[in-house]
Amino acid sequence: AWRKYSAHEFTNKDEFERELVRHIETTLARSLYNCDELAAYSGTALAFRDRLIIEWNRTQQRQTFTDQKRVYYLSLEFLMGRALDNAMLNVGMKDAAREGLQDLGFRIEDVIGQEHDAALGNGGLGRLAACFLDSLATLNYPAWGYGLRYRYGIFKQEIVNGYQMEVPDYWLDNNPWEFPRHDITVDIKFYGQVKKKQDENGKLVASWEEGETVQAVAYDVPIPGYGTKTTNNLRLWSSKASSGEFDFQKFNAGDYESAVADQQSAETISAVLYPNDNLERGKELRLKQQYFWCAASLYDIVRRFKKTKRAWSEFPDQVAIQLNDTHPTLAIVEMQRILIDIEGLEWDEAWNIVTKTFGYTNHTVLPEALEKWSVPLMQNLLPRHLQIIYDINLYFLQSVEKQFPNDREILSRVSIIEESHPKMVRMAYIAIIGSHKVNGVAELHSDLLKSTLFKDFVDIYGVDRFTNVTNGVTPRRWLHQANPALSSLIAEKLGGHEFLTDLTLLDKLEAFVDDKDFRRKWAHIKSDNKLRLARLIKDTTGYTVNPESLFDIQVKRIHEYKRQQLNIFGVIHRYLKIKGMSAAERKKVVPRVSIFGGKAAPGYWMAKTIIHLINKVAAVVNNDSDVGDLLKVIFIEDYNVSKAEIICPASDISEHISTAGTEGSGTSNMKFVLNGGLIIGTCDGANIEITREIGDQNIFLFGNLAEDVEDLRHRHFYGDFQLDPALEKVFKAIKDNMFGDAGDFSALTASIEEHGDYYLVSDDFHSYVTTQEMVDEAFLNKEEWLAKSITSVARMGFFSTDRVINEYADSIWNVEPLAVKD
Ligand code: 26W
């Protein structure tokens, strides 16, 4: 009976055209005669949206009906990128759309290009959440994402005179992918006081009174699985003023301005994504965002659970909540508050439910990224939550004291409250204490968590609470969508596209490594992808690059620990070397294009200095006729998901060169290798497991190991520091104003020469430069290089988020996919 109402499904080109025209003429109220690319995009998006929403409705019905355990993924960031291409591929109607659009005179690529990226994230953590949603739906898990509907996503980066400028990213106009649910709202309270009250049974209970309320409104985004019937939901909360009598009274009293001001202040909560990556600044508005989103999401989850009329003890059998970093840690405290203050459970019973429900993923060991909130701030904003945190801490410390009766030190080390001025609440500790599993995102990272940051907690809880789930990427977006030619070539060899849902099937490619014809096609595809990137570079920077050159790419957030400075110093070294060569020697140089991209946090001065240096070096090198095509330096502005889809398939080599022990996992390393690029990298994050999978002959590793970092830093600190001689020459060139005013870069050189070289740039410089020379050498042997490229792709099966999600499902969430019959 359902089916006959789904009139807007289309199953072929003609039906697609019918739907497209219907949307253009009626939904958009446009005439076909003045239909531009933007209208064609909107019409196409609406046609596909109809399909998604039909499946979305069916999926939600099915999930409610079968009533099995669901996963809720709480993330402050979802870096989704564009949705249309993804919807077309997942629904499997892209060819119909291509032909239909062609009939109307449009190229599908141009239509797809009209869409604004949904950029509700900073970098790796946000994109990982988006890949997870794709895999959850593809694997038919009943799963919801919960996040914030920022009015402004990550800022748009413009480069002006070599400097980064930030422009607001207002992205919501005409966004067809979200559905406002004005009927799904939650009132969220802030401030106020806690009073003790007697309940009906005469028991003393805490009551959180007065304060201000802000309304959370749900916006739903459908998440289609690839080739499955599951379309899951991403629910994003938007803030607005509560429609209570509060503003009504002000309004009637003639205080119109202040009523409007209240409304604006409420809307501020979900206004903007914080652009800091790995730096916590302790701003009140950020804490408000976190509580607003956690409280709204939990209310929603609890409301759904209560409809089933089950006992509270069954909550952990119905609900798994995963915390994407510590940003949603308040959800633990809020859940405990709901259970004891509102539902009337005893503390222990409630706490048992909470810890069975939550899991916590840590993404970084950088100390400056660990969230701490000042006690006075929390006291003011969330007085009841602070009390509960104190109680969690009290019971926890009591049990630690029992376990380690003669150890005074451990109590202050593991206390949730840091005894500083002001006192601080350590969010990671709440997350550990309130979860049944804590995981890192790559083997080395998880090992470091256990041996350093969270060592005491391993002693307290045992090692079983701590686990590793190595990251992955979705092969749908990062192979099939970003690199359709390679995807088809692989499908041709493997006899179909099954590898897109079972990436381990790629291993069958190894049989073709020596196949001449296959190699030729493989090489062709790489060239085409490099051409595509060369066009993007021409269009956005004006520079012409030779696509025959070795494309060396480093795209990621700009951060000292990721060491873009090491890369650009290496580029300067290369430039100086070329300058010193005879014409005959220059003939032997392997032409190279060094490509950079990435945003600096607006307040991160050193990162901005690195961008500035890259651009100044580019200006000098690219205009030096001595050098010509032998070296080009490119900074691609406004690196984002849709640009990554063009960039990742176009690398010969990409750089993942963080100081050993600092990168949680890295995920672009996987995207580049999956697209047939090789890697130069340190023994850090998932580089180590990539090496294990693809073989160490297929990757260029260099640099000091994580186990040596502490000692090296210690030696620098005590004055045992020798600037690498080649790096010294690079610094001399900078100081001689070769790249403009040396004063602009003095903080950068000083951080290495004078301030202890915390990130070991000098220590790794020699090894980096010589490894780059090995890269040049290897690139000369085209056939060997191709063999490495193909072999690597064949061995990348492990790095699919499908594998990752299945691991979470088995070892942390204990959830099963929902079987769907056709
Ligand atoms: C509180 C400020 C803040 C903001 C964002 C602190 C930390 C973050 C994120 C954890 C930064 C991030 O994106 N981390 C990256 O997460 C990826 C997915 O697991 C990993 O691959 C990267 O190594 C890690 O840097």
CA gap 332, 354 in Å, rounded: 7
**What's residue 7's pLDDT?**
62
CA gap 364, 449 in Å, rounded: 9
**What's residue 245's pLDDT?**
46
**What's residue 32's pLDDT?**
87
- Please name which of 343, 346, 249, 333 lies closest in space to residue 305, comparing C-alpha atoms: 343
Is 404 a residue whose pLDDT tops 90?
A: yes
Q: Which atom of ligand 1 is nearest to the CA of 663?
A: 23
Q: Which of 185, 541, 659, 667 is catalytic?
A: 667
Is 102 a residue whose pLDDT tops 50?
A: yes
The answer to whether the CB of 664 is under 6 A from ligand 1 is: yes
H or E stretch at 440: strand 437-440
pLDDT digits (tens, 9 = 90+) for 245-256: 456 667 677 788
- Please name which of 213, 371, 388, 415 lies closest in space to residue 283, comparing C-alpha atoms: 371
Q: Which of 476, 519, 556, 563 is catalytic?
A: 556
pLDDT digits (tens, 9 = 90+) for 534-551: 999 999 999 999 999 999
The answer to whether the CB of 471 is under 6 A from ligand 1 is: yes
Q: Which of 288, 363, 385, 476 is catalytic?
A: 363
- Please name which of 277, 215, 348, 260 lies closest in space to residue 79, comparing C-alpha atoms: 277
Q: Which atom of ligand 1 is nearest to the CA of 327?
A: 1
Contact of 513 with 677, CB cutoff 8 Å? no
The answer to whether the CB of 128 is under 6 A from ligand 1 is: yes
- DSSP code for 816: -
CA gap 794, 674 in Å, rounded: 8
Candidate of 363, 667, 672, 689 to mutate for ligand 1, largest count of ligand atoms within 8 Å of Cβ: 363
Ligand 1 centroid to Cα of residue 327, in Å, is 11
**What's residue 6's pLDDT?**
58
Over the range 428-441, which residues count as b (16 or more CB within 10 Å of their CB) and which as e? bbbbbbbbbbbbbb
**For the purposes of burial, counting CB atoms within 10 Å of the CB of 257, is it exposed (0-12), middle (13-18) or buried (19 or more)?**
exposed
Ligand 1 centroid to Cα of residue 125, in Å, is 5
pLDDT digits (tens, 9 = 90+) for 410-442: 999 999 999 999 999 999 999 999 999 999 999
Which token pair is 376?
A: 């006075």
Ligand 1 centroid to Cα of residue 363, in Å, is 5
Q: Is ipTM strictly over 0.85?
A: yes
pLDDT digits (tens, 9 = 90+) for 27-67: 999 998 889 999 999 999 999 999 999 999 999 999 999 98
**What's residue 47's pLDDT?**
96
Ligand 1 centroid to Cα of residue 662, in Å, is 11
The answer to whether the CB of 656 is under 6 A from ligand 1 is: no
pLDDT digits (tens, 9 = 90+) for 70-93: 999 999 999 999 999 999 999 899
Per-residue DSSP letters for 478-515?
A: IIIIT-HHHHHHHHHHHTSSGGGT-GGGGGGGGGGTT-
H or E stretch at 418: strand 417-418
CA gap 388, 335 in Å, rounded: 11
Give the closest residue (by CA) to ligand 1 atom 5.
277
559 belongs to the catalytic site: no
The answer to whether the CB of 663 is under 6 A from ligand 1 is: yes
pLDDT digits (tens, 9 = 90+) for 655-675: 999 999 999 999 999 999 999
Ligand 1 centroid to Cα of residue 277, in Å, is 7
Give the closest residue (by CA) to ligand 1 atom 6.
278
Is 590 a residue whose pLDDT tops 60?
A: yes
Ligand 1 centroid to Cα of residue 270, in Å, is 20
Q: Which of 33-42, 64-73, 237-246, 450-459 has the lowest mean pLDDT?
A: 237-246
- Please name which of 91, 115, 111 lies closest in space to residue 103, comparing C-alpha atoms: 111
Candidate of 277, 438, 555, 656 to mutate for ligand 1, largest count of ligand atoms within 8 Å of Cβ: 277
Select the CATH number that applies to the domain covering 67-82+117-470+808-813 from these four: 2.60.40.1080, 1.10.3720.10, 2.170.130.10, 3.40.50.2000: 3.40.50.2000
- Please name which of 429, 423, 415 lies closest in space to residue 375, comparing C-alpha atoms: 423
Is 275 a residue whose pLDDT tops 80?
A: yes
Averaged confidence pLDDT in the chain: 96
The answer to whether the CB of 667 is under 6 A from ligand 1 is: yes
CA dihedral in degrees (12, 14, 19, 25; nearest 10)?
Answer: 160
Which token pair is 45?
A: 């998006």
691 belongs to the catalytic site: no
**What's residue 82's pLDDT?**
98
Q: Map residue 429 onto helix, strand or coil.
A: helix
Give the closest residue (by CA) to ligand 1 atom 24.
664
The domain spans of the chain are: 67-82+117-470+808-813, 546-793
pLDDT-based confidence at residue 2 (cuts at 50, 70, 90)? very low
Q: How many CA atoms lie within 13 A of 127 on its CB side?
A: 27
**What's residue 255's pLDDT?**
81
In this structure, is the dihedral angle defined by the CA atoms of residues 275, 281, 282 and 285, taken in order, positive or negative? negative
Q: What residues contact 472, with CB distance under 8 A and at least 6 apart?
A: 131, 135, 667, 670, 798, 799, 800, 801, 802, 803, 804
Asked if the bond preceding 591 is cis, omega within 30° of 0, the reply is no
Q: Which atom of ligand 1 is nearest to the CA of 685?
A: 23
pLDDT-based confidence at residue 361 (cuts at 50, 70, 90)? very high
616 belongs to the catalytic site: no
- Please name which of 445, 468, 656 lies closest in space to residue 566, comparing C-alpha atoms: 656
671 belongs to the catalytic site: yes
195 belongs to the catalytic site: no
Beta bridge partners of 208: 194
788 belongs to the catalytic site: no
Which token pair is 539?
A: 């269009």
* Residue written as token pair 């289309």: 10
**What's residue 200's pLDDT?**
82
Ligand 1 centroid to Cα of residue 257, in Å, is 41
Ligand 1 centroid to Cα of residue 645, in Å, is 20
- Please name which of 99, 822, 808, 2 lies closest in space to residue 469, comparing C-alpha atoms: 808
Contact of 820 with 326, CB cutoff 8 Å? no
Does 546-793 match 67-82+117-470+808-813 at the fold level?
Answer: yes
Fold of 546-793: Rossmann fold (3.40.50)
pLDDT-based confidence at residue 243 (cuts at 50, 70, 90)? confident
